[in-house]
Amino acid sequence: MNAYRTIIILPAEGCRRSQRMVTYLRQHQIPFTEIPLTSPEGQALMQEHDLRASPGILVDGVSVNPFDVLIRPDCQVDEAAVRRIFLAPVDNND
């Protein structure tokens, strides 16, 4: 049985990086929660985690720089980074 990390994506409207990340996660059926950046909850999370680029990405409550999973300049998803950051095994023995 696969255990998934808790992934929250805070996309900015009209942001190409945000669109690529959300589309990729949906296409690969990776569970995530989408909270619009402009929503009150999105703004609070951006402030709380000092997120400075879109999309805001939180994995298990820890901020992830979007440039760690998206390759510039074309915003292609880095498959190895996704496996390492989003799909790493979850320790359920806590």
Residue 19 to residue 11: CA distance in whole angstroms: 7
Residue 77 to residue 68: CA distance in whole angstroms: 9
Tens digits of residue pLDDT in 28-58: 999 999 999 999 999 999 999 999 999 999 9
The answer to whether 19 and 11 have CB atoms below 8 angstroms apart is: yes
Q: Is residue 74 part of a domain?
A: no
Range of the domain at 9: 1-59
Number of domains in the chain: 1
Q: Is residue 78 part of a domain?
A: no
> Has residue 93 got a pLDDT over 70?
no
Q: Is pTM, for the whole model, over 0.75?
A: yes
Q: Is residue 11 part of a domain?
A: yes
Provide the pLDDT for residue 43: 96
Q: Is residue 24 part of a domain?
A: yes
**pLDDT band of 9, cuts 50, 70, 90:** very high
Provide the pLDDT for residue 11: 96
Q: Is residue 68 part of a domain?
A: no
